[in-house]
Chain A
Amino acid sequence: MKHLRQLEDQSVYILREAYKHFDNLAMLWSMGKDSTVLLWLARKAFFGHVPFPLLHVDTSYKIPAMIEYRDRLAREWHLNLVVGQNKDALAAGMNHTLGRVTCCTALKTNGLKQLLEQKGYTGVILGVRADEEGTRAKERYFSPRDKHGDWDFRDQPPELWDQFKTTFPPGTHIRIHPLLDWTEINIWEYIKLENIPFIDLYLNKGDGTRYRSLGCAPCTTPIKSTASTVDDIIEELRHTTVAERSGRAQDEGRGMELLRKDGYM
């Protein structure tokens, strides 16, 4: 429990730095376990309040239960929810059969970029974790994106002693990653410790499967699992050697490197 509190202290510090330094700040919320823990940490940092909008980039292909859950928490926790969608791409018939990277770029990366541009956000808080996949292991807590939203991973600013990059040229923005040091198991341990409400898609409901990572319905597959409680999940994760995002199609090949360099979350 002590290590969870240490992770919490660091994430809270980062969230408070973000709130102090960015006039136009927003947090991305995908309703998955990570960004929901992030949302909870914001309530910790600001003593029950969430003093910035929560963005959801809706691809229209999300699992319906996720949307219900989103709207319920937004009501109960008094969240300022902002939903964005790349309507032009959807109108033109964009879907995963046109290529996964193509679809993710259009509906998620470009959907996000459109939303950022419209609203002029200069700081965007995301729930990415270093242990999820290789490119995310390279991230800074405060990570600059250029005018096109691109990430120059070869020339990242120094970050030391909890001093972060909080100034940036006009037209650029900063991605803020308070969960970088958390692992998948830490997330579940924390959900248990704090009793955070989460979507039950993560649990086995009798058919011997559950989702380990949530995304769009067509590109996310459940894993075989009998875990039907948070304790079961933690126990399962202690013994698994399967990668968390094995059910996420976009991770195949160089997918994530290409997507993230281009501004994907």
Chain B
Amino acid sequence: MSTATSSEHLNIVIVGHVDHGKSTLLGRLYADTGSLPDGKLEKVQAICRQQGKEFEYAFLFDAFLEEQEQGITIDTARTFFNWKGRQYIIIDAPGHKEFLKNMISGAARAEAALLLIDALEGVKEQSKKHGYLLSLLGVRQFAVVVNKMDLVGYRQDVFEGIEKEYREFLAQFGANPERIIPVSAKLGDNIANRSQAMAWYQGPTVLDALSAFKKEMVRSEQPLRFPVQDVYKFDARRILAGRITAGRLKIGDHLVFSPSNKRANIRTIEAFNIEPVLTSGEAGQSVGITLDEQIFVERGEIATHQERLPLVSTAFKANLFWLGKRPLEEGRRYLLRVVTKEVECEVAAIHRIIDTMDLSQQQGSKTVIRNQVAELTLRAKAPIAFDLSSSFEATGRFVLVDDYDIAGGGIVTEMIRDDQEVLREEARRRDFAWVKGEVGIEERAQQYGHRAAIVLITGGRHTGKSFLAKKLEARLVADGRHAYLLDGENLRRGLDADLAEGQRGQTMEMARRYGEVARLLADTGLIVVSTTNPFGLDYAEAAQSIKTLVHPTPVIAIHMSKLPEEPPANADIVFSGPADFDAATRRILDELKRRGVLAQAIGAKPTFQYSI
């Protein structure tokens, strides 16, 4: 293989309907640029002779013999060649619709695409689907290659008919191909060399079109997005590692972490075997930074500059393609991943299914089946930071995990303001203006031997909430922990004395005040044990408000009921039926250990790494 060194490489995907000649085009590109290793051609020809069939260029890339027997590319093969100082990594994606997930896997890492259409067959189902998906996947640079022109007598009117039809289709979702090129991959017309048979075509060859694709570097010019991938403490340094997905950062920059609203300045940029020492980083780079203050941040938070914060909400609208073996269902739960953040989510609504053949929309479906595209609303269990895909690529897209597999992917089209929006803004403004003492939260944790947390006990009347809360507080203090029982009744006669009882709006104001008090107590490093007694039947809403206000302090949500009933969403532990309070207390202590609030149980993997 020609392995001349190149200053730049570009990932290209070749897509299109099955049998429209993708592998043949690849074989031809390699042969015509002299990029095949010695013996490769001969080896494949020998296998063809053994199997008694005619050699085709496509066979060069269908490396599995099994594939050659079936005659279709099963998976995304990657090959490399060099042309005019640039290395092309060619991802050959299968056109058969059964293998859409492989096409998507290939296209998702491409910077530019070639989309093939067979001149004889014209625009087919997968030609349209692939065109639409390229747009959805964010591949904006692409050229359309109309292949097998030899089979239509190299006729200009056939080419122009296809060009018109396909451009009209693409225009419906704003896609615009750089070039549309008539070729015969089999005979080599307009691949490396200009075709003698199509003098009417004046545009570039396929290789010319490849050379014209740009390496996209604009992400560095965007506002900073630095999703935290991990926090390391291998030695004296506490390093936040991650890949910058947009913008730049440098030593001294003031960073805000969302959704926790924690803030600190960059002290150093760490690297191994790099001289001179790094002072800045930009989009695309995997970096490590240390901060001037020991704040607790975890994987999944997005660091930005304060001027351009990401969106934070529990819900967004999205366009999604589904690849799962079982259909996506409204109301079902999946694991949502946005860059490095993982959170459980629910499909709140499926608005419509989009038919990629004619872009018609079908409403009222409660499921999305494999290979369909849909518009839907997702609701996450906890607030997450993200962007609209129209503004930021990496932080504006997501995947859904069903069982063990990535089963779908999509782009965020709209943030949905949830009912916590106002309180979240209050918390953000309050946190940004928070005056800190000399003693940081990490130092307090080190002194106390545990982190701050809120144990929030909800449930109906006479379920034993107060009794359990008192028992838990007593047990924690007996164990040497700093715990405090915050009973809502104690706020009612004092802090809430100006509020009229029984009015709904007042109940929510009580919840807000309760949340702010809990936030203060958590900042002192306490484990706050609390019940939502004063909120009566509005306890679920009150609990949500409290959670929003104390975020990111860990909240352990306990729900109690006398009868088996549907527990509120987001409960960590549910006790139903007559309670065994000793067992319940032990269960809560285990949960505090599991969440890293108390020292780890031996052998248990913490939900997050707690390093001081």
Contact = CB atoms under 8 A, between A and B. Distances in A.
Contact of A20 (B102, B229, B284): B229
Give the one of B5, B36, B270 with max A CB within 10 A: B5
Interface string A31-52: 0000000000001111111010
Given A135-B64, A140-B105, A238 B3 contact: yes
The 9 closest A-B pairs by CB, nearest first: A134-B63, A160-B108, A12-B286, A130-B78, A158-B101, A243-B37, A185-B3, A137-B77, A49-B234
B525 interface: no
Nearest to B62: A134
B219 to A, nearest CB: 13
Contact of A9 (B37, B76, B80, B285): B285
B1 A131 contact: yes
Interface stretch (A92-100, A102-110, A163-171): A163-171
Interface stretch (A111-119, A176-184, A203-211, A216-224): A176-184
A49 B241 CA distance: 14
B232 interface: yes
A46 B234 CA distance: 8
Contacts of A158: 101-102, 104-105, 323, 405-407, 409
B401 A241 contact: no
30 contacts: A3-B6, A9-B284, A13-B243, A16-B230, A43-B273, A47-B270, A48-B234, A130-B77, A130-B80, A133-B63, A134-B64, A138-B63, A138-B76, A154-B75, A157-B101, A161-B399, A163-B337, A165-B406, A167-B401, A180-B78, A181-B89, A184-B3, A185-B4, A189-B5, A238-B4, A238-B5, A241-B2, A241-B37, A242-B38, A242-B39
B409 A16 contact: no
B237 to A, nearest CB: 7
B272 interface: yes
A16 B272 contact: no
B243 A9 contact: yes
A46 B232 contact: yes
Interface string B526-568: 0000000000000000000000000000000000000000000
B357 interface: no
Contacts of B397: 161
Contacts of A51: 234
- Chain B interface residue count: which class? 35 or more
A246 B237 CA distance: 46
Contacts of A154: 74-75
Given A43-B273, A157-B406, 17 more contacts: A2-B8, A9-B284, A17-B229, A20-B230, A43-B272, A44-B273, A47-B272, A158-B105, A158-B323, A160-B108, A163-B337, A163-B409, A165-B404, A185-B3, A234-B5, A242-B37, A257-B63
A191 interface: no
B104 A160 contact: yes
A254 interface: yes
Interface string A4-26: 01101110110011011001000
Contacts of B499: none
A3 B9 contact: yes
- Chain A interface residue count: which class? 35 or more
A87 B273 CA distance: 39
A44 B239 CA distance: 13
Contact of B87 (A3, A23, A184): A3
B271 interface: yes
A131 B105 CA distance: 18
Nearest to B70: A154
A3 B79 contact: no
B7 interface: yes
Interface in B8-51: 8-9, 34, 36-40
A180 B87 CA distance: 15
Contacts of A165: 404-406
A197 to B, nearest CB: 12
B272 A246 contact: no
Contacts of A20: 229-230, 299
Contact of B64 (A47, A49, A138, A160): A138
A242 to B, nearest CB: 5
Contacts of B401: 167
A156 interface: yes
Nearest to B273: A194
B520 interface: no
Nearest to A154: B74
A159 interface: yes
B596 interface: no
A161 B230 CA distance: 18
B288 interface: yes
A77 to B, nearest CB: 11
A106 to B, nearest CB: 23
A241 B1 contact: yes
Given A9-B284, A49-B234, A23 B605 contact: yes
A144 to B, nearest CB: 8
A17 B241 CA distance: 11
Give the one of A133, A134, A154, A167 with max B CB within 10 A: A134
A254 B243 contact: no
B109 interface: yes
A76 to B, nearest CB: 14
Contacts of B339: 162
Contact of B102 (A43, A49, A156): A156
Contacts of B271: 44, 47
Nearest to A159: B105
Contact of B232 (A17, A47, A134, A240): A47
Nearest to B400: A163
A10 B407 CA distance: 23
B394 interface: yes
A23 B604 CA distance: 11
Contacts of A240: 3
Nearest to A256: B63
A156 B77 CA distance: 12
A185 B285 CA distance: 22
Interface string B391-435: 000100101010111110100000000000000000000000000
B157 interface: no
Nearest to B230: A20
Contacts of B38: 241-243
Interface string B331-349: 0000001010000000000
Contacts of B3: 183-185, 237-238, 240
Contacts of B105: 140, 156, 158-160
Contacts of A5: 285
Interface in B283-311: 284-286, 288, 299
Contacts of A156: 75, 102, 105
B241 to A, nearest CB: 6
Nearest to A242: B38
A183 B80 contact: yes
Give the one of A6, A23, A185, A246 with max B CB within 10 A: A185
B438 interface: no
B69 interface: no
B65 interface: yes
A121 interface: no
B498 interface: no
Interface in B565-612: 605
Nearest to B65: A254
Give the one of A17, A161, A237 with max B CB within 10 A: A161
A153 B74 CA distance: 8
Nearest to B76: A138
A243 B605 CA distance: 46
